[in-house]
Amino acid sequence: MLARAQLAAADLVFFHSNSHYLAGFLQQINPNLVDLQPFYQAGQPRSLSYQTMLDAVITAVTAGQNVVWACYGHPGIASWPPHEAIRQLKALGYRAKMEAGIGADACLYADLGIDPMAEGCQQFEASQFLFYQRTVEVSAYLLLWQVAIAGDFSLAKLESDKGYIEILVQHLQQWYPPSHQVILYEAADLPIWQPRAERIALVALPGATLNQITTLVIPPLRPKTVNSAMLDRLGVPANHPLRQQPAAT
């Protein structure tokens, strides 16, 4: 209700979404809309698109307007411009605040029945997973966000590059066998839609349909291993359930 009230009270509502349903919903609350989606241009680095969005929002605020920037999902996840807008506006002396939203990660845990605290969960943006040295814990879940554009160093691609996906699969085979079952996940935009939870072998990933919202979910390869030395230091008794779990050999 707070978010709806803020939307209704705004002089201007900026938004961007790949779904026209969001525009229709916002139009019912406040007709003073500015769609930022056209700022994305094929072949143009996303960093330039983001800067143009940022400039438009900051210009409106500094002109004295009460502005809301409506983002799909959680506004602070995989989204640099909202964070930067808040930083810059605060530095200029304006009040700016981010309200939490329901992100794709929350939907993923619910739709796939995953408790990230049970087995553990690592998550990376897929390109960063390739660009930087990362250590994978195969007894935990591994989530790779924006897998369709994995390896895109130009920040200009909007669709999947099969060659880059093949490199990602080769990289992942340091830790997982080709036959390891993975999940292609996409949250449902509307309650009447169904989420995507397609299970395939890791080696089949280059031939799969990958969209901008596809997340690669890699389930644990093996059970967690108990740290017996640490249990000894903590004084865990021999009859404790932790002592019945697999230990390192």
Cβ–Cβ < 8 Å for 248, 225 = yes
User: pLDDT tens-digit profile of 89-127?
Assistant: 999 999 999 998 888 999 999 999 999 999 999 999 999
User: pLDDT tens-digit profile of 164-198?
Assistant: 999 999 999 999 999 999 999 999 988 889 999 99
Cβ–Cβ < 8 Å for 180, 201 = yes
156 compared with 37, residue with greater pLDDT: 37
d(CA 125, CA 66): 33
| pLDDT of amino acid 106 | 94
Domain residues of the chain, as ranges? 1-92, 104-218
pLDDT band at residue 156 using 50, 70 and 90 as cut-offs = low
pLDDT value at 18 more than 70: no
Q: What is the mean pLDDT of residues 40-51?
A: 82
User: What is the pTM assigned to this prediction?
Assistant: 0.87
| pLDDT of amino acid 119 | 95
Query: Is 21 a catalytic site residue?
Result: no
Query: Is 141 a catalytic site residue?
Result: no
| pLDDT of amino acid 42 | 73
Look over the chain and give the mean of its residue pLDDT values, rounded to a whole number. 92
pLDDT value at 245 more than 90: no
pLDDT value at 138 more than 70: yes
pLDDT band at residue 1 using 50, 70 and 90 as cut-offs = confident
Q: What is the mean pLDDT of residues 139-146?
A: 97
- Fold (topology level) of 1-92: Cobalt-precorrin-4 Transmethylase; domain 1 (3.40.1010)
Catalytic position from the list 4, 21, 50, 196: 50
42 compared with 179, residue with greater pLDDT: 179
Q: What is the mean pLDDT of residues 2-27?
A: 88
Query: Is 50 a catalytic site residue?
Result: yes
Catalytic position from the list 4, 21, 40, 72: 72
pLDDT value at 15 more than 70: yes
| pLDDT of amino acid 158 | 67
For 104-218, CATH gives 3.30.950.10
Contacts of 245 by beta carbon, 8 Å cutoff, 6+ apart: 223, 224, 226
pLDDT value at 157 more than 70: no
Catalytic position from the list 4, 46, 134, 185: 46
Cβ–Cβ < 8 Å for 240, 174 = no
* Token pair in block for residue 173: 């085979």
